[in-house]
Structure 1
């Protein structure tokens, strides 16, 4: 299959092509088009020209376009899921889950409204609050969940009356380009544009004077650069950045019952998700027992090509990240105790078997930093107050979780944790209808939910003297 850019309603070739690599076997999936600076200019110009007409389009018609896109994705779910598995490496059932989240996001936002709110209406004055579009949105996407993170920005942005330029990551462009093919005749020309690059167009897109807002998901390091560049023109910015999510097990947990959920919460997508468990705090009195149960459970999982129906965990997505995670693995061997996994199989593919590391604590790179790969440190604590203090000591604050047989007790601890989302007896439970806020060095703003929609609006007050 050939893939095209989407610029001004047309599917077009890039100025050159690059091969997209399957991380499971290092084979070439397909060639991807690559845009140049001229095509970026055309995409932004098309978006700017289309935006005013799109903003004037009744919201019901904009919502209908989203519903149509959701229906197209549903009809092509099998193809989309397979493509996600090929370029991301995620096991096929979880690739279907991502495609289904895209459908849910389209459905959810197609039901949202942006009605004016009357604050005051008396004999002297009428005050009305309106939510109006920003203009052109630039959405810069990562490689770990390319399609869901694309729709998380596209759906609320266009419903609010903005136009958008999407730039997927160079190592996972294909599923987003396929999405562009599906929507090319749904939205008016220029409302949605998709360009690709080789990590060389992001700065120009962020700095473009016709871009009113930048929506980015990725590392905190890159997020700081985007924020700094956007500040020159006082652009609006939403950033969903790195996480180092802590999970605290209270002493009363039924570890046998929750072990599968903990393993999934830590190793979903081979831990290449910003909001999976990155640090597991375990009561000292049960440390050995919990380590043994988790190691026994994780040792049963199979790592391999995501198209294999027996596989639970796939590869690291790209060679650069693979090398980074191997560095963390070497650190774990030097100064911790690996109790499960820790293998780098010979042969093709960027595989590291999911790894549990005990006998490490705060101050260790595995605990303080984010490997963004399948290595989980298990840290002992002596009392819950100490665990809360250590969990909150991180500069990151994306997510956290508390696990207990007593839900009320867990909720009391959850209220003390500094994170945008705190789950109780689960982790990384996401839904397009639920806001996903950021805090601390994990970002600015909110994705998903009603609040995620309002991130793509300006607040305007109409104040009328009678």
Structure 2
């Protein structure tokens, strides 16, 4: 079925199935050119109240809609997104800055995530069944979900919240990042063709909207993706009304490279995962530990890979790495570059920020900084990483775990038994061997320690949008 939809029209927030204009608007910037993008609304507290009222009314209908009917609507929504994937890709490039191939991958993943999560069977669990009683655990929707979406993957991380919320019978209010509001607003506008009014709504705003959403008594769950610092504030705010909360937060992912690897091939992959999306991914490799016996050769191979990258406007062909997304993050990352001279760090490649029209920063590798230096301890969320050496396996595992974060990690070795053994000792929610950042909509994703609470995706992610209810059904009077 062909769906008529215009991605080039004005950008609106949707309340109760209709455009909800605001008196005050703002606009984003193309981070590659700093050109102004179209105006978007700035929601008011009254807009939030109206959206919550509409959501509660819609929930009564949607939560009682048979699962197969909900699934059918969700899959049709994915098909419509597929129909307009090229336009969403181009919009993603303009607002986020990532190069066209990476924007295509995100758009394809957003569609895949919806379809695959719709295939997951959320069944009742029979705990006991004997001559006296049957005990069943079932999963019932929570109510109104507030989805707070970040600016680094505004398409994928929006659909990754919308699909499981709707499949489980919840209704959702989507708040895109004020830095990247455009794809999120259009996703919700498109959704109106498949879901009753109030089931999928959007609110566009500034820095005030997030706290209003997390503290609103009519919101039953917050699904938040963003920084650890902001996640702590979200949790504190949500606790006042005992909202259910899923937090997917920052990371400081280590890579442990053993001496038996193919240096050139592994250096290519490690560089890719360190600098993908210009270092603006919670799962980027952010600490690279290389065995001292191959350290210099691996460093040189890594530098060759990085020096082959092309930095620029992601809308142009041949660009491998785009700009940082916004001035706030650009300014923060620049402070790490200031520390190069202040702390006397040795630079393997990069190290300077050249003048440009946008928020461009060349990928930079710091050669063996002190283990307690800021570049090792903190998450820059930009294209600068420390390269460190190690000799003892137990010691490097301890160093890899010596962080308040615990999102991802990867082990690189030709010895698969050793890879699995070391992987099981890493304190992180996601550990890869000879790979990194390979995710699945059918597998749970979440962090340990200060990298988050709860999981998204997979059956565990679906259940995170539910209350569990246990029925004790006695047989006989």
TM-score, structure 1 normalization: 0.98
Check conservation: 1:54, 1:162, Cα contact below 8 A. Answer: yes
* CA distance in 2 between partners of 1:412 and 1:121 (Å): 39
Q: Does 2:91 match 1:87?
A: no
Q: In the TM superposition, what whole-angstrom CA distance separates every residue of 1:369-408 from its partner, at most 9, and x where no partner exists?
A: 0000000110111211111000101010000000012222
Q: Which residue of the other structure, out of 411, 433, 442, is the alignment partner of 1:402?
A: 411
* CA distance in 2 between partners of 1:231 and 1:18 (Å): 31
Check conservation: 1:46, 1:190, Cα contact below 8 A. Answer: yes
* CA distance in 1 between partners of 2:252 and 2:394 (Å): 19
Shift of residue 320, structure 1, vs aligned partner? 1.0
Q: Which residue of the other structure, out of 95, 98, 119, is the alignment partner of 2:106?
A: 98
2:273 paired residue number = 265
Moved more, 395-404 or 223-232: 223-232
1:212-251 matches, within 5 Å, as 212-251=220-259
* CA distance in 1 between partners of 2:232 and 2:107 (Å): 30
Q: Which residue of the other structure, out of 322, 340, 349, is the alignment partner of 2:349?
A: 340
Check conservation: 1:265, 1:428, Cα contact below 8 A. Answer: yes
Moved more, 219-228 or 326-335: 326-335
Q: Does 2:298 match 1:290?
A: yes
Q: Does 2:383 match 1:374?
A: yes
SS in 1 for 2:146: strand
Aligned residues: 466
Check conservation: 1:304, 1:313, Cα contact below 8 A. Answer: yes
1:121-136 matches, within 5 Å, as 121-136=129-144
Q: In the TM superposition, what whole-angstrom CA distance separates every residue of 1:198-243 from its partner, at most 9, and x where no partner exists?
A: 1111111111111111110111111111111211222111100110
SS in 1 for 2:289: strand
1:42 paired residue number = 50
Q: Which residue of the other structure, out of 431, 436, 440, is the alignment partner of 2:445?
A: 436
Gaps of 5+ in 2: 1-8
Check conservation: 1:15, 1:36, Cα contact below 8 A. Answer: no
1:328 paired residue number = 336
Moved more, 403-412 or 134-143: 403-412
* CA distance in 2 between partners of 1:117 and 1:257 (Å): 46
2:6 paired residue number = none
Check conservation: 1:342, 1:352, Cα contact below 8 A. Answer: no
SS in 1 for 2:449: coil
1:412 paired residue number = 421
1:170 paired residue number = 178
Gaps of 5+ in 1: none
1:157-196 matches, within 5 Å, as 157-196=165-204
Check conservation: 2:120, 2:442, Cα contact below 8 A. Answer: no
Shift of residue 362, structure 1, vs aligned partner? 1.4
* CA distance in 2 between partners of 1:386 and 1:218 (Å): 31
* CA distance in 1 between partners of 2:394 and 2:123 (Å): 45
* CA distance in 2 between partners of 1:213 and 1:223 (Å): 14
Check conservation: 1:361, 1:380, Cα contact below 8 A. Answer: no
Shift of residue 253, structure 1, vs aligned partner? 1.3
Shift of residue 347, structure 1, vs aligned partner? 2.9
Q: Does 2:261 match 1:253?
A: yes
Q: Does 2:120 match 1:116?
A: no
Q: Does 2:472 match 1:458?
A: no
Q: Does 2:454 match 1:445?
A: yes
* CA distance in 1 between partners of 2:355 and 2:38 (Å): 25
* CA distance in 2 between partners of 1:391 and 1:117 (Å): 38
The structure 1 segments of at least 4 consecutive aligned residues displaced by more than 6 Å after TM superposition are: none
SS in 2 for 1:56: coil
1:309 paired residue number = 317
* CA distance in 1 between partners of 2:332 and 2:186 (Å): 30
TM-score, structure 2 normalization: 0.96
SS in 2 for 1:352: coil
Check conservation: 1:9, 1:185, Cα contact below 8 A. Answer: no
SS in 1 for 2:212: helix
Shift of residue 13, structure 1, vs aligned partner? 2.1
